[in-house]
Structure 1
Amino acid sequence: MPCEINDDAQSFGPLAQWLQGPVLLALAEAAIELDLPELLAQTGDLDALARMLGAHRVNLGLLLDAMTAMGLAVKQDGRYANTALGEMYLRRQRDTYLGDMLINLKQMQHRHLDKLAELVRSGPPEVHGAQRLSSPERWRASAGHLANYQRAYLAPLAVELVEALPEFPAMKRALDLGGGPGLVIMALLERRPDLRGALCDLPPLAEVAREHAAARNLEGRLAFIAGDYNQVDLGQGYDLIWASHTLYYAKDMDAFMQKLLAALNPGGVFICLHEGLTEARTAPSLHVLARLCLALEGQDVSFDHGFLAENMRRAGFARVTSRPIDGPMGLVWLDVARKARAEEQ
């Protein structure tokens, strides 16, 4: 007699989905290693692809079928092509290529997956060198990945958000705090020829940003503040300060928010884009899971939702608003803080 299934019973479907995670990432890595997105831009013929790679034709076909199943390729009449995802972000020749960033993030986010139980028993291990999130060497090595990420997503988003501000037409000076290779502030400068900017980051990244500015003929409009933002003089007289996923390293958040407030002109705007954990730090799942290994090794840098906005209010910002943005890297919070105008002080 067939077993009756309770419709209200919990399905074990999630278990099967968990098994697919490593397969999906391994497929993406294989596609990157074989440079398949670039080759698919040249031909979709399986025989030609096998010859170009010197590959086993049958196994190459199986890999391409799996890439199709995961959404990296399409297959029609026996021929393959890139999807928009593969075309835009996994072709090495594009300046929006994110394949190396994916591999870099895997190395950081997965480095303890084989010893989670051990870390629970023993506690955080010692973290050295480039494995430290604050390591200048680590960020210098990641500069190329960051530039492509900024070009592909963050810079267009920043332009959209800043241009929507009623204060934007009157802004004269902007600071990109922890701006890395600097494509965010440069995109803003290119939208407003009369706008001048400054970028503050560690010396290796400030140097990379200087190179990008030279390539875009922006050296005369963009100043560089090379150093730890906790220690250097940020200057004053800014109408806008932008910070995206850079406030983890503030050593005294109250004092640092006051430092940013002092750097703004009356009526100036501080825009902060950061994750914010909710539900007793168990959500959003993407952030919690992606940063588990970092947290287990003692580098838990994620903020609780509302923490930054509350620090802004406590520092003396006159008006603070927050709203969620659901982006490709998960849900983040946009906090916009305004310094009181001269007549309000």
Structure 2
Amino acid sequence: MEAKVWSPADLLQLSGGYWSACALHAGVKLDVFTPLADRALTAHGLAEVLKSDARGVAMLLNALAALGLLEKSGDNYADTSFAAEFLCRTSPRYLGHIILHHHHLMEGWAHLDEAVKSGGPIRKRVSHDVGEDERESFEMGMFNLAMQVAPRIVHQINLSGRRRLLDLGGGPGTYAIHFCMQNPDLTAVVYDLPTTRPFAEQTIDRFGLTGRIAFEDGDFIAKGIKGTFDVAWLSHILHGEGPEGCAVILEKAVAALEPGGMILVQEFILNDSFDGPPFPALFSLNMLIGTPAGRAYSEGELFNMLAAAGVGDLKRLPLELPNGAGIIAGTV
């Protein structure tokens, strides 16, 4: 990978980049964009809608306009077409949940130095120990992200002849939904913690797939997996565990597969020298902050873990996915 040529201006822009992120987070948290999707308002008018201070609202609106997310005409503000599509709560393409999840992560990232020094987490695990608002932003944020890439993935993976899919740690079930829509003969089970059930059932029902996709709750690391399947989908769950935990997850996923079953693992994948791509390398720090042993893994590490679990015919699928994500496939 070609080394970046840095300048002092680049360095300072990177250092202060959180200002822009915080302005976006505040806009989403206050729900600035929803009322401005249908009509233009002055800062004072929007402040009345939001029950907020007019001076503060005006400053935030001007910053969001400077970032290109709002349009300003005279004293009136309105959403850009992009903001109306992705930042208005009533839009089916709303991305506010994942943005709020990023907002909840910021406090932990501000103490990254402490996590590096101690080598252990300084943030509660979202899947276990947080309040309902934060859990909703996480679960539905995962839905937001998966909705961006699942339609691109499912039509490039041949599941013809397969009948029963395990979506392990599947959260709101977005991938199970898209695999089932792509494969009319496929049924699926989303397997995750009990706290995930309401989000999964709501999402599955929204797509009219309640009869084909079931939710099974339980700690699959501690107790194992009920039933048998001919394809298992593990999307972004290995990075939450250290190598020993990954070995347990893969062992139990393989045990739930029939002979000839397919296993598909999606992760943010590091190169084998661990110094890129940038997103997986930074994501590893996010796991340091929030988990006892989790991290991003390299392609070689993932191949070795899958082989040790008894998976053969391993290959990385030739898919171009965002943020250094990749999918490794194999059979048992």
How many residues end up aligned between the 2 structures?
323
> Is the Cα–Cα contact under 8 Å of residues 239 and 265 in structure 1 kept in the other structure?
yes
> Is the Cα–Cα contact under 8 Å of residues 140 and 172 in structure 2 kept in the other structure?
no
Distance 2:133 2:41 in 1: 37
- 2:98 match: 101
- Choose 138-147 or 18-27, whichever is displaced more: 138-147
Is residue 2:317 matched to residue 1:320?
A: no
Distance 1:135 1:116, change over 3 A: closer
Q: Which of 148, 163, 175 pairs up with 2:155?
A: 163
Distance 2:164 2:271 in 1: 35
Q: Which of structures 1 and 2 has the bigger CA Rg?
A: 1
| 1:161-200 paired onto structure 2 within 5 Å | 161-166=153-158, 168-200=159-191
- 2:10 match: 14
- 1:332 match: 325
- 1:66 match: 63
Q: What secondary structure sits across from 1:261 in the alignment?
A: helix
Distance 1:312 1:95 in 2: 37
Distance 2:102 2:27 in 1: 17
Q: What secondary structure sits across from 1:316 in the alignment?
A: coil
Question: What is the root-mean-square deviation of aligned Cα atoms in Å?
Answer: 3.4
> Is the Cα–Cα contact under 8 Å of residues 150 and 184 in structure 1 kept in the other structure?
no
- 1:37 match: 33
| 1:72-111 paired onto structure 2 within 5 Å | 72-75=69-72, 79-111=76-108
Deviations along 1:111-148, whole A, 9 cap, x unmatched? 252x5555555x25775xxx443753449655533554
Distance 2:95 2:190 in 1: 24
> Is the Cα–Cα contact under 8 Å of residues 139 and 199 in structure 2 kept in the other structure?
no
> Is the Cα–Cα contact under 8 Å of residues 98 and 142 in structure 2 kept in the other structure?
no
> Is the Cα–Cα contact under 8 Å of residues 176 and 185 in structure 1 kept in the other structure?
yes
- 2:201 match: 210
Distance 2:228 2:135 in 1: 28
Amino acid at match of 1:308: L
> Is the Cα–Cα contact under 8 Å of residues 193 and 217 in structure 2 kept in the other structure?
yes
Distance 2:73 2:269 in 1: 43
Distance 1:141 1:31, change over 3 A: closer
Structure 2 unaligned spans of 5+:
none
Amino acid at match of 1:310: N
Q: TM-score scaled by structure 1?
A: 0.77
Amino acid at match of 1:154: A
Distance 1:73 1:126, change over 3 A: closer
- Choose 57-66 or 14-23, whichever is displaced more: 57-66
